[in-house]
Every structure is written in C-alpha cells, then in structure tokens.
Amino acid sequence: MPNTNKISWVNIILWGIRILVIILILWGVANTIISGKYSANNWISLIVAGLAQGSIYALIALGYSLVYGIMLMINFAHGEVYMAGAFVSYFVANALEKSGFLIRQPIITIVILLITAMLTSTLVALLLEKIAYRKLHNAPRIVALITAIGASFFLQYSFRGFFGTGFKTYPDFGTIWGKWTIGTTTIQVVQIVVAVAALLIMLILYWFVEKTKVGKSMRAVSEDREIAALMGINVKKIIVITFMLGGMLAGAAGVFRGIYQPQGIGYSMGFLPGLKAFSAAVLGGIGNIPGAMLGGLFLGIFESLGPNLVLQGLGIVGANQLKDAIAIVMLVLVLIFRPQGILGEKLSEEKA
C-alpha cells in the first residue's frame, strides 16, 4: 500500500524545532530580565560593542554577498582575504607605532592602514579569482565550493609560512582614544570610530552599486548573466570588479578588527569570522547588499547580547564560551525559518 501521508515527520521535526527555539529564547530572555542581573547601562554598552563587531561582520558579509550575487558561489576563502588585510597592515601599524607617528596622527594612521589593507586584500582576492575561480564559471556549486575551501587553506598556511604561527597584536587604539561617558553609560570611542567608519564605507559601496554605471552592470549580471552578456556587458570584467570590491571591504574589515580587538592577529583569524559573516549574509538575504549590512549588524548584536540575555537565562554556565556558536546556530535557524533571509526575495522556483 503506497504511503499517502502528507505530513512527513521531517516537517514535524522542523516545526518542533521552530517551536522549541522560540520557547527557549523567550524563556531565557524572561529569566534574565526577571533576575535583573544587568542594568540598562550594561545592555547599552553590549549593544554598542555588538554594533562595532557587527559592522566588521557586515563588511565581510558584503564580500560574500557580492560574489554570490554574481557567481552563485560561496567564496569560502573570503575569510582569508580579510585575514590578509589585517595581517599586512599590522606590520605597517607596528612600524608607525614605533616611529611615533601613530600617537601623533591616529586618524591618518588609520587611513594609511586602510589603504594598505585594502590593497593587500584586493590583491589576494584578485589572485584567487584568477587562479582558482576563473575556470569555474559554469561548474556545479559544490566544485566551486571545494575549490574555495582549498584556496582558503592554501592561503592560511601560506601566511603561516610567511609570517609565522605567533599571534600579533595591533597598537592599542583603545587607550589612545579612551572612553566617553554619557550620563551613566561609558562607551569606548574606538567602537564608535569603527562603527561609523564601517558604515561610511558601506554607504560608499551602496552608492557605487546603485548609481554608477559599473554598479548597474553588476546588478544586471547578478540578475541574469547571459542576458547581461548579450546586452554588451563584459561579464568577466564585472566579476573581477566584484572580487575587487569584496577584497577592499574585507581589507577594511581587517583593519577595523585590528583596531577594535588588537590581540590575536594570526593566520587562522579569518576562519570563524568568515563563517560568521557568511551566516550574516544569509541572514540578510544572500546576494542582497543592504541585507548583508543588516545581517552583519544583527549578528554582531546577537552575539553580544545572546550569551547574557538568552543563554544565561537558560542557566547555562560559561555562556560566553558559546558565543562563537551563536552565528552558526543562527544560520541553521535562518535556513529553517526564512531561507531567503530578511531582505531576500529574489529566489526563483525550479524549472522542470
């Protein structure tokens, strides 16, 4: 007798997960708030920290999203593009600190760092595109993804070979700028600088994609590559430009990471942020530029609030250790709840 059951148990499990997650989150939040362990000031500073961190994620996420939009591939090595920028500009930062320039001109220093990092990351991204991805324009996604994974590990271990296994530490911008106190809340100035600068860069990108001719061609290619090519758009060039943009954003993210969290610049620093930024891009709706920004910011805030607000409320010890898991759990939840992300709509159905 054929099985004509319309509700498969996978659906039941998925619904179970959905309901369970919602209950757990509400329960955790309620518990924490009732316990009154944290004051409003705590929350505010957590949110600001989350925004700063989130803007870094957003910058990386944009790179994923841009490339995905155009090539329909997950550029898994993007985390390493970010790492490259952070790494190389570390050496510049170090030199500038030693020469005393940094103390005198912190803002100019940051600009210099940004330029170095952007150049480096762009270079790495372009090399990636040229060596690894160019031949894969029409390959199945899995093939492209495996190549990207290979590239990711290649880059990590090349950098390890070049610069060693030790972790590097950026000059401490945090103490240079100190803190602001507004009322009873204190906020680190570095956080504001990072968030604002990142936002600025993202706005420039947005303007570029929306208003310039190249940006419009990019959008055309991501809409339909073949038709765009028929319209006389040089698809190859657009792909290269996309990788360049992604590289620049990732380089900037690298510098911001160094400024905001000076410790732990090392060859493996790109792996987790890469994974998280991908989650952010999916959260926002992959291929969607404002989506990636929003996704990054949300993720930063979730990560910053999540452990204290939800996990502690659930009575989990050492909740902050699980911070890194939040992004991944969120990725899974997004894919269960709303696979097209917050802003994503442009996904077509199957053609049979």
Ligand X SMILES: Nc1ncnc2c1ncn2[C@@H]1O[C@H](COP(=O)(O)OP(=O)(O)OP(=O)(O)O)[C@@H](O)[C@H]1O
Report the interface residues with ligand X, using CB under 6 A: 348-351
Shortest Å distance, C-beta 350 to ligand X: 5
Find which of other proteins, ligand X, none residue 161 binds, CB within 5 to 8 Å per kind. Answer: other proteins
Which span (29-37, 134-142, 195-203, 287-295) binds other proteins, by CB under 8 A? 134-142
- The one of other proteins, ligand X, none whose footprint includes residue 302, by CB under 5 to 8 A per kind, is none
The verdict on 230 binding other proteins (CB under 8 A) reads: no
What H or E segment, with its residue span, contains residue 185?
strand 185-188
**Judged by CB under 8 A, does residue 21 bind other proteins?**
no
Asked if 14 contacts 336 with a C-beta cutoff of 8 angstroms, the reply is yes
d(CA 201, CA 243): 16
Residue-wise over 248-258: b if at least 16 C-beta within 10 A, else e? bbbbbbbbbbb
Q: Of all helices (H) and strands (E), which one includes residue 306?
A: helix 289-306
Contact range with other proteins by CB under 8 A, out of 110-118, 232-240, 268-276, 288-296: 268-276
DSSP-assigned letters across all residues of 268-287: TTTHHHHHHHHHHHHHH-TT
CA nearest neighbour of 210 among 138, 290, 304, 124: 290
Q: Which partner in other proteins, ligand X, none is near 33 (CB below 5 to 8 A by kind)? A: none
Residue whose CB is less far from ligand X, 226 or 349 = 349
In the complex, least distance from residue 287 CB atom to other proteins, rounded to whole angstroms = 11
Q: Which stretch binds other proteins (CB under 8 A): 73-81, 173-181, 200-208, 290-298?
A: 73-81
Look at residue 308 and give its three-state secondary structure: helix
Of 38, 154, 177, 208, which one interacts with other proteins (CB under 8 A)? 154
178 binds other proteins (CB under 8 A): no
Q: What is the largest CA-CA distance in the chain?
A: 82
